C-alpha cells in the first residue's frame, strides 16, 4: 500500500467517532477473514478421492445402519416430512 493511500485512510479514520471506528475495524477484520488463499494445484484432489478416504474410515456395520432409500426420501430423513410414495 502506498504511503499516500495509507495516510488518507488514517486521516479519514481518525475523523470518525469511536463507534464508527469500531465498525470500520470489524469490517476490515471480516474482509481479512474472507480472504482464504486457494489451495495450490498440487494440493487439490478430486471430490471422489476425498469421499473414498472419508468413507473408508467408517466401519462396515455403520453403513448397514443407513437407510437404503436415503436419496429418494432425503426430505423425510433430514426434515421429518412424510415419505413420498413410490410412483
Tens-place pLDDT, residues 55-73? 999 999 999 999 999 999 9
Same domain, 74 and 51: yes
Same domain, 57 and 69: yes
Q: What residues make up the domain containing 64?
A: 45-79
Same domain, 33 and 49: no
The grid coordinates listed for 60 are 462396515
* CA–CA distance, 59 with 55 (Å, rounded to integer): 9
Average pLDDT over residues 7-17: 92
Domain membership flag for residue 86: no
Same domain, 59 and 75: yes
- Domain tally, the chain: 2
* CA–CA distance, 84 with 78 (Å, rounded to integer): 13
Q: Which residue intervals of the chain are DSSP H helices?
A: 3-15, 18-34, 47-55, 60-63, 74-79
* CA–CA distance, 31 with 26 (Å, rounded to integer): 9
Same domain, 37 and 10: yes
pTM of this prediction?
A: 0.38
Amino acid at each position: 500500500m502506498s504511503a499516500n493511500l495509507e495516510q488518507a485512510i488514517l486521516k479519514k479514520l481518525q475523523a470518525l467517532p469511536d463507534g464508527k471506528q469500531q465498525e470500520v475495524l470489524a469490517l476490515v477484520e471480516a474482509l481479512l477473514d474472507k480472504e482464504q488463499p486457494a489451495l495450490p494445484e498440487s494440493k487439490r484432489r478430486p471430490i471422489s478421492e476425498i469421499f473414498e478416504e472419508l468413507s473408508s474410515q467408517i466401519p462396515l456395520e455403520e453403513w448397514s445402519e443407513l437407510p437404503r432409500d436415503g436419496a429418494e426420501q432425503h426430505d423425510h430423513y433430514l426434515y421429518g416430512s412424510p415419505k413420498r410414495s413410490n410412483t
